[in-house]
Amino acid sequence: MLRNRADRYGLLAMTLHWLVAVLVASLFSLGLWMVNLTYYDAWYRSAPAIHKGTGVLLCLILIARLAWRRLSPPPPPLASHAAWERQAATAAHRLLYGLLFAVMLSGYLISTADGRPIEVFGLFRVPATLSGLPNQADLAGRVHLWLAIGLVSLAGLHALAALKHQFIDRDGTLSRMLGRPPRPPA
């Protein structure tokens, strides 16, 4: 089942969700590690290239995810969720998407500050359209770090909320993102 249903997410939505989660965690880890590399480290040039290329691919995956969300809307919240939980979940999802795009935009501004395009694994280039601003790389770098910390923190809360619903409330919220219908209420 590729499309979402009323009781669970479809294969494409699940794949895109988990792919974004893995890429965000990987990019965050790689980013924290690579900023401490010195010129003489073997990964000094390749780690940033991997980080940038993967960030661009994440942007494309995120655009595909949002397009798919339009074509195949997610299942509605479970009836057992309180109104405040539904509102908080909606706000958190919107903030997650906003942070994802803001992190990617700030990364783009770092990468293109010198006017060079971003190479994406030799497949294509993303042109530098805004560069040469005063302290662009440094300012965008600070913003990028803090936005990334905010993104990973919010993603962690998102994961904790899903685990709370799955194992404390036992309502099957997480099961729906794993392709299984929620458990019937006890």
Q: Model confidence over 103-155: pLDDT tens digits?
A: 999 999 999 999 999 999 999 999 999 998 999 999 999 999 999 999 999 99
Residue 79: its pLDDT value, please?
Answer: 87
Q: What does the CA dihedral 107, 111, 21, 94 come to, rounded to 10 degrees?
A: 30
Residue 180: its pLDDT value, please?
Answer: 80
Residue 137: its pLDDT value, please?
Answer: 96
Residue 78: its pLDDT value, please?
Answer: 87
Backbone torsions φ then ψ of 124, nearest 5 degrees: -165, 170
- Tell me the pLDDT band of 173, cut-offs 50, 70 and 90: confident
Q: Give CA separation, 152 vs 10, 17, 105, 140, in Å.
A: 25, 15, 16, 18
Residue 176: its pLDDT value, please?
Answer: 87
Percent of the chain with pLDDT over 90: 83
Amino acid found at 131: S
**Residue 149: which H helix or E strand, with range?**
helix 136-163
Contact 72, 3 (CB under 8 A): yes
Q: Which of 78-82, 95-99, 107-111, 116-120 has the lowest mean pLDDT?
A: 78-82
Mean pLDDT of 69-87: 93
- Tell me the pLDDT band of 80, cut-offs 50, 70 and 90: confident
Residue 172 has pLDDT above 90, yes or no: no
Residue 112: its pLDDT value, please?
Answer: 97
DSSP code per residue over 59-122:
HHHHHHHHHHHHHSPPPPPPTTS-HHHHHHHHHHHHHHHHHHHHHHHHHHHHHTTTSPPEEETT
Average pLDDT, the chain: 94
Contact 32, 22 (CB under 8 A): no
- Tell me the pLDDT band of 185, cut-offs 50, 70 and 90: low
